[in-house]
Structure 1
Amino acid sequence: MQQSAVPELAHTHTRPIHWLATATAVAGVVALSSVLQPNSATAAQTAGPDAKNAPAAVAPPDPASVEFPLECGLVKAVVVKKASGDLDGDGSPETVAVVHCDAPMGTPPDGVYVLTRGTGAATPRVVATLVNPKDSITVSDLAVRDGAVVADLLGYSTDDVPRCCPDVKDSAKWQWKNGSFARSTPAGAHSV
């Protein structure tokens, strides 16, 4: 066997010091890249000639500042879901809030409330109850689409079904008609 004329290369055998040096170099690159970030974008739309006459965008009502018609005893009411949109076509958004008592155990029933802010009113108020907590329903999904409230509701077929395990699923849609919210079932809705 003939010996190589070139001495054995040192980097062909990895040692812990090599791994430590590699890890240090990678950490340095990551740290340096987090410091050297590009400037934030500064593009802005210019106001057109009608911008002075356009109405200011109105923020939807915040459910955190509303007292809901819910009896919770020693625990407080919590907003677990919310969605916003213009439900009555007046150009101002409403907020739909799913609220239940913050019970330490079990699955508390939900209430679904529509909030609005009256003209000049600083604090929002409840104007409609779409789902009453007394109906023992839980809301699994909530959205505002095309001026309508759409929700997936979970309930119980009988009083014998444990309150932890709803066995009925229903979809509901509420739309503002003739001064109130009318409930219908959207196409493709089903029960379990």
Structure 2
Amino acid sequence: MQNAAVPELAHTHARPVHWLATAAAMAGVVALAGWLQPGTAKASPGAPGARVAAAPAPDAAAVAYPLRCGSVGVQVAARATGDLDGDGRPETVAAVHCRAGSGTPPSGVYVLTRPAVPGGPPRLVATLADPREKLTVLDLAVREGSVTATLLGYSSPDVPRCCPDEKRATKWRWQGGKFVRSTRSEAPSI
């Protein structure tokens, strides 16, 4: 027997269409929740295991290099960036030489890191190739934490400075608190 005080309501009888509508609504809510995620949490730099916010690589043009170029000035011929010491912050490697209207000026390869004080210039922390070695950098890259370069040089002082006759694939890797250099000589293709 039915109670006359309560009328029969449509929603009290579950039909398949009601279950489908409920399932579709729930799927929409789950999909929307997956799409609307909160932003990435950032811990303070001192927290153990915290990731340091990405810092920009040092600007190679903002450094005073140890070159004596006189009035012609210094030219940054190539630069590459990457984390070389595993601290999560990028360093910049710069191939630098004196500006020259012609000829092949020797290059220096330098590693730059972040400023010692905020707002200061980047710090030059290592010389990988000294200009006194009379080498020219053909290419420069940072790959998997190593600096790689092709260096052109001279087999003797009798070789004209216009025409390097040695080609070396060179790699530097940070090990034991210093950069370790390995070189593989190649046949010159110059």
Whether the TM-score (by the shorter chain) exceeds 0.5 is yes
Aligned counterpart, 1:185:
183
TM-aligned CA distance change 1:145 to 1:47, over 3 Å: farther
Q: Which region of structure 1 is more displaced relative to structure 2, 111-120 or 167-176?
A: 111-120
> Displacement, 1:133?
0.5
Match of 1:83 among 73, 76, 80: 80
- Rounded to whole Å, the distance in 2 between the matches of 1:121 and 1:50 is 25
1:102 alignment partner in structure 2: 99
CA distance in 2, matches of 1:62, 1:162: 34
Identify the residue that residue 70 of structure 1 maps to in structure 2. Answer: 67
**Residue segments in structure 2 that go unaligned for 5+ positions in a row:** 1-34, 44-50
When residues 119 and 90 of structure 1 are mapped into structure 2, their CA distance, relative to the original with a 3 A threshold, is farther
The residue number in structure 2 matching 1:141 is 139
Q: Which residue of 2 aligns with 1:52?
A: 42
Question: How far apart, CA to CA, are the structure 2 residues paired with 1:173 and 1:109?
Answer: 18
What is the deviation of 1:126? 0.5
Measure how far apart 1:190 and its partner are. 2.2
Higher-Rg structure is: 2
Equivalent in the alignment of 2:152 = 154
Unaligned residue ranges in structure 1 (runs of 5+) = 1-44
Change in 2 beyond 3 A, CA 1:46/1:166:
farther
Structure 1 residue 47 displacement after superposition: 6.4
Counterpart among 101, 112, 117 of residue 114 in structure 2: 117
CA separation of 1:176/1:48 partners in 2, compared to 1, >3 Å: closer, same or farther?
farther
Q: Over residues 102-155 of structure 1, what are the superposed CA-to-partner deviations in whole Å (9 max), with x where a residue is unaligned?
A: 022211010000000146443201100001111110010110000000010000
Supply the distance in 1 between the matched residues of 2:106 and 2:147 (Cα, whole angstroms): 19
TM-score, with normalisation over the residues of structure 1? 0.70
1-structure distance, mates of 2:147, 2:172:
5
CA distance in 1, matches of 2:37, 2:183: 43
| TM-score with structure 2 setting the length | 0.71
Residue 75 of structure 1: how far off its partner (Å): 1.0
Letter in 2 for 1:129: T
The alignment of Structure 1 onto Structure 2 pairs a total of residues equal to 146
Secondary structure, in 3 states, of the residue corresponding to 2:174? strand
Segments ≥4 residues shifted beyond 2 Å: 45-56, 118-122, 189-192
